[in-house]
Amino acid sequence: MKIVACNSNPPLARAVAQELRLPLCKVSVRRFADAEVFVEIQENVRGEDVFVMQSTCSPTNDNLMELLIMLDALRRGSARRVTAVMPYFGYARQDRKSGPRTPISAKLVANLLVEAGANRILTMDLHAMQIQGFFDIPVDNLYAAPLFKRDINARHPNEDLMIVSPDVGGVVRARQLAQRLNTDLAIIDKRRERAGVSEVMNVIGDVSGRYCILVDDIVDSGGSLCNAAEALIGRGAAGVEAYVTHGVLTGSAVERIRNSPLNMLTLTDSIPATDALNEAANIRQISTANLLARAMSAVADESSVSSLFD
């Protein structure tokens, strides 16, 4: 078993390698003068079970190209099996035709990964579950809910909690966490005029006097999350926090969240923290290294991955 780290999230790759007590495979990933990606694997991988760690976060296209070229290099190096470990799967929000003459980019990326040489995909909290069906190879989709449950129990042992889905599409995800915590569920009814812009229309559920925890898979501009927090406070919530798996946080998102009613936004480290994120008093990250390491061990040992969430 070998672990290969590309350049998107070196701290997470090092943490996973430490959990597995394995060294990272010696590789060189660099750019030519015209920004072409060049990969060189500097040790033997013939017959090995190789795990390539790469989140396709910003710069998304560069990180995706790095991953594809690394997969090709490993295939040509005669690795026995190559698993693409993608804590954050970019292009997942383009999972269907949103209008006439628009692409299904998530399917295109799936095709590229398989064609480049991936034998298996290991990812976390896919934006749309049906993306697993875009692949003709096994896909293991991990869940951050157990991490969130432990963290919430540790930080709020005596609060009267209510889990809140920021939109109708996230109800299943929020309900699963609510069931784990044995608490109630509320839903934000919102209208999205265009990408990145939303308006809260209604709050379904009585949040008065409850400490509300918003749960989502991706926070991008932060507008929906901040609007939801304001709506909950306006309807009498005792306080509002948010737990989100992937902190994309584009543009002025960090500043928007810093000035919002959110007491805290908790993210995983599927996407590396920026300097602005580290400086924000109400944004923090929790580690996914142990979860990823256990899943990778299960794949290598041919044991159950789903048992990690029982």
Q: Which of 253, 254, 258, 262 minimizes the C-alpha distance to 228?
A: 262
CA distance 169 to 218: 12
Residue 82 has pLDDT above 90, yes or no: yes
CA distance 107 to 113: 10
Q: Determine the pLDDT at residue 200.
A: 61
Note the pLDDT tens digit of each residue in 250-286: 999 999 999 999 999 999 999 999 999 999 999 999 9
Known binding-site positions for Mg(2+): 127, 167
CA distance 223 to 66: 31
What torsion, rounded to 10 degrees, do the Cα atoms 97, 98, 102, 108 define? -50
Which residues form the catalytic set?
Answer: 190
Note the pLDDT tens digit of each residue in 150-169: 999 999 998 999 999 998 88
Percentage of residues of the chain with pLDDT beyond 90: 91
Q: Determine the pLDDT at residue 284.
A: 97
Known binding-site positions for ATP: 34-36, 93-94
All structural domains of the chain:
2-142+290-309 (3.40.50.2020), 145-287 (3.40.50.2020)
Tokens standing for residue 249 = 């946080």
Q: Determine the pLDDT at residue 202.
A: 87
Q: Are 189 and 200 in contact (CB under 8 A)?
A: yes
Q: What angle do CA 254, 204, 167 make, to 5 degrees?
A: 40
Query: Which strand (E) or helix (H) includes residue 153?
Result: helix 145-155
Residue 199 has pLDDT above 90, yes or no: no
Residue 180 has pLDDT above 70, yes or no: yes
